[in-house]
Amino acid sequence: MAEDLDTRLYELLSNLLGLPADEITDESSMKTVRAWDSLKHMELIFALEQTFDLPQLSTDEIVEMTSVERIRTVLREKCACV
Amino acid sequence: MELRDKLVLITGGARGIGRAVVEQCAARGARPAVFDIDADALADLRKALTTDVHTYTCDVADPEQVASQIETLTQQLGPVHVLVNNAGLVHNQLLLNFGPTGLESYDATAWQRVINTNLNAVFYMTATTARQMLATRTRGVIVNISSICAAGNLGQCAYSAAKAGVDALTVTWAKELSRFGIRVVGVAPGFTETDRALSTMSADVIADWKTRTPLRRMATPAEIAAAVTFTIENDFFNGRVLPIDGGLRI
């Protein structure tokens, strides 16, 4: 299940940020990926909620989820698919 | 977007085009809410309508009032689905005038007032409402009432500049907000038979504009409101300003 979550997450990030999936790592973040600006970040949040059927993410969570590692942590806490 | 049961917030909705929008939205089963600076006109609106309308006295050119009243409204009625930025005012004056004391310039206080009400208020209202739409994951529509004067109308430099700014905001915000399910559109009326227009233009000026309009008449507020409801209901209309001007070009 965790592998499936990673695959779906990387696919979503790849499509949204316009990056090959194999270039995305846990360290990828708003600081390291040029296309990941604040507008794209909100788009990512909306896409995560829809793709993983999450309850609405809080402002604090949205502010924290600025790296792939942090996004995965939140997904594992909140996603019923894990 | 189907209007039935949607919360539609209309600024300057107590009279004129705004009031016609209120009436047509209510007729489609929407829940209209109105911000207007004129408390008496709001009372008249409540008496005149046969359907419920929620009214709030608000000077939309004051960002603090806007923030406070939107907070009150959303607590009472829930998230706004449609915002119609309609409130506005006109000041007729040339940039340079020959007055009793010689050459006079356009009144700077009037310039500020016109820009505040027609342009800055659109920013205050939209920034606050769009933020609330995003926070509640509400898909919505922002409708900005522009004007044929956005092309530049002699004697209305502040109003023309403000409406040209509104057109630019419509395009820009559509690019920024559409990805979140929020469409941003504009409607640009030509000369319309509102109390304001009829009271600020002389009979000769009105006759002249009618002559220059290919349809030889002014629009009714209901015709402009019909364009507004079209832009709300057509989900592929976005980032554009719809002219409703009888074919007149300034």
Query: Distance from A46 to chain B by nearest Cα, in Å?
Result: 8
pTM for this prediction: 0.93
Chain-chain contact of A49 with B137 (C-beta, under 8 angstroms) = yes
B93 DSSP β-pair partners: B156
**Which pLDDT tens digit goes with each residue over B132-183?**
999 999 999 999 999 999 999 999 999 999 999 999 999 999 999 999 999 9
Edge-first strand listing for the sheet containing B140-145: B54-57, B31-36, B7-11, B82-85, B140-145, B182-189, B241-244
CB atoms within 10 A of CB B142: 27
The answer to whether B180 contacts chain A (CB < 8 Å) is: yes
Chain-chain contact of B180 with A46 (C-beta, under 8 angstroms) = yes
CB atoms within 10 A of CB A10: 20
**Which pLDDT tens digit goes with each residue over B73-132?**
999 999 999 999 999 999 999 999 988 888 999 999 999 999 999 999 999 999 999 999
Chain-chain contact of B180 with A49 (C-beta, under 8 angstroms) = no
Which residues of A fall within a CB distance of 8 Å from B179? 39, 43, 46
Q: What is the mean pLDDT of residues B28-52?
A: 96
Residue of B nearest to A42 (CA): B180
Helix axes B16-27, B221-233, angle to 10 degrees: 50
Looking at residue B176, its pLDDT comes to 96
Looking at residue B20, its pLDDT comes to 98
Which residues in A have their CB inside 8 Å of a CB on B?
39, 42-43, 46, 49, 56, 59
Nearest CA to B126 out of B95, B186, B84, B187 is that of B84
Predicted confidence band at A64 (pLDDT cuts at 50, 70, 90)?
very high
Task: Quote the ipTM score.
Answer: 0.81
- Average pLDDT over chain B reads 96
The answer to whether B176 contacts chain A (CB < 8 Å) is: yes
Which tokens hold the place of B141?
């529509």
Residue B19 belongs to what H/E stretch?
helix B16-27
CB pairs under 8 A between A and B: 12
Provide the 3-class DSSP secondary structure of residue B243: strand
Cα distances from B20 to residues B14, B63, B87, B192, in angstroms, run 9, 26, 13, 12
Residue B52 has pLDDT above 60, yes or no: yes
Query: CB neighbours of B143 closer than 8 A, spacing ≥ 6?
Result: B82, B83, B84, B85, B185, B186, B187, B228, B231, B232
The answer to whether B134 contacts chain A (CB < 8 Å) is: yes
Taking the CA atoms of B183, B188, B193 and B198 in sequence, report the sign of the dihedral they define.
Answer: positive
- Among the partner residues A43, A49, A56, nearest to B179 by beta-carbon distance: A43
Predicted confidence band at A1 (pLDDT cuts at 50, 70, 90)?
low
Looking at residue B203, its pLDDT comes to 93
When comparing pLDDT for B13 and B198, which is higher?
B13
Residue B17 has pLDDT above 80, yes or no: yes
Chain-chain contact of B137 with A42 (C-beta, under 8 angstroms) = no
Q: Which residues of B are catalytic?
A: 159
Q: What is the mean pLDDT of residues B214-231?
A: 98
Predicted confidence band at A2 (pLDDT cuts at 50, 70, 90)?
low
Chain-chain contact of A56 with B179 (C-beta, under 8 angstroms) = no
**Which pLDDT tens digit goes with each residue over A8-59?**
999 999 999 999 988 999 999 999 999 999 999 999 999 999 999 999 999 9
Chain-chain contact of A43 with B176 (C-beta, under 8 angstroms) = no
Chain-chain contact of B180 with A42 (C-beta, under 8 angstroms) = yes
Instruction: Report d(CA B73, CA B9) in Å as an integer.
Output: 9
Instruction: Report d(CA B236, CA B227) in Å as an integer.
Output: 14
Is the distance from CB of B175 to CB of B115 less than 8 angstroms? no
B245 DSSP β-pair partners: none
Provide the 3-class DSSP secondary structure of residue A9: helix
Query: Distance from B165 to chain A by nearest Cα, in Å?
Result: 22
Query: Distance from A40 to chain B by nearest Cα, in Å?
Result: 9
- Among the partner residues B135, B137, B176, nearest to A39 by beta-carbon distance: B176
Cα distances from B196 to residues B8, B47, B119, B122, B207, in angstroms, run 23, 21, 18, 20, 16
Instruction: Report d(CA B250, CA B152) in Å as an integer.
Output: 7
**Which pLDDT tens digit goes with each residue over B176-203?**
999 999 999 999 999 999 988 888 888 9
Query: Distance from A36 to chain B by nearest Cα, in Å?
Result: 15
Instruction: Report d(CA B72, CA B74) in Å as an integer.
Output: 6
B119 DSSP assignment: I
